[in-house]
Amino acid sequence: MKLNWRLYFTVMGLIALFLVIYETNAWAVWTKEDTQVVRVENPQSQSAPEEKQKEILEGEFTVINKDENMNDEKVVKNEKQAEEGIIPTRIRIPSIDVDAKIESVGVLDNGEMGVPEDPLKAGWFEPGTQPGNRGNAVIAGHVDSKTGPAVFYHLDQMKKGDEFTVTGKDGKEKTYVVQKLESYPQYNSPIEKIFGSTNEKRLNLITCTGEFIRDKGGHQDRLVVYSTLKEPKETVPSPTNVQVSGAFLTWYAVREDDIAGYRVYESRDGGETFDKVASVSQHERKAYSEPKASEYEYYVTAVNKDGTESEPSTIAGE
């Protein structure tokens, strides 16, 4: 049988090209789009020892900083959780098509955060904050494995404003909104910022990113997606007992600590349109004077210190 040398060299060339792509991880580079990840080169104003930076262990996406560990005092561990927290069992990120199970992970004997064995599952840092509570809850996931893309392969494609949901074992859901994306050198990441205390209700997602060092078995950087809990819009009670008497409009104060004041709306066309005619501070008398008040209609709203306005009170007058 006569050998077709042209076909032989074509096949061998394709094989060589495939090996080059595999060794350089070029496929991941070609398939990644522009991201909003901000590279933070030196978040703690210090560098890890040079010899430690040579060691990159395969699959250790949870190694945040080799100079410290998850037993460090900077890592907040909540022994008692508030009632609104959940034990997460599933995470859904529509913008990058993630729908994955979550395992609870802890601290390994070497002080590192544990990892899920299944690359298609994410791991919640159980000793830390529960999603829904004040503090930094943390969920981490692999970016890839020997068999291909893993659960957080497209995490760097998330954008500020994206929403994602975690579901608890009791079926309750918590929705979070992405605030920013930052990447750090593997051995110089801000543990306190990621795992430390805060009055906000945060959930931080972690994975590997940056150049893949084939002979070291891992990626050189760590990506953190910072998000905050999306809470129901605050409601402000409406003023009550709104009455017109002669030239005066009066109402009862709203018994809430954060009320800044009240807005008075007036209609002179039988309730067709209402225009704001006064703003009354919380510490002032709850009244508005108008010589022809008895001829018009009014409603009053309460406004809290964040600027949220209540629904209109009942209409008074006429």
Catalytic residues: 142, 208
Q: Token match 């990447």: residue? A: 183
**Is 183 strand, coil or helix?**
strand
Q: How many CA atoms lie within 13 A of 95 on its CB side?
A: 16
How many whole angstroms separate alpha carbon 82 and alpha carbon 80? 7
Angle, vertex CA 162, rays to CA 95 and CA 76, nearest 5: 115
Start-end of H helices in the chain = 5-24, 26-31, 50-53, 191-195
How many whole angstroms separate alpha carbon 309 and alpha carbon 264? 12
CA distances to 12, 146, 266 from 16, rounded to whole Å, are: 6, 20, 80
| Amino acid occupying residue 131 | P
Q: How many CA atoms lie within 13 A of 307 on its CB side?
A: 0
How many whole angstroms separate alpha carbon 39 and alpha carbon 33? 16
Residues 252, 253, 254, 260: what is their CA dihedral angle, to the nearest 10 degrees?
A: 150
How many whole angstroms separate alpha carbon 198 and alpha carbon 190? 14
If you count DSSP H runs as helices and E runs as strands, how many of each does the chain have, helices first?
A: 4, 17
Q: Is 35 exposed, middle or buried (0-12, 13-18, 19+ CB in 10 A)?
A: middle
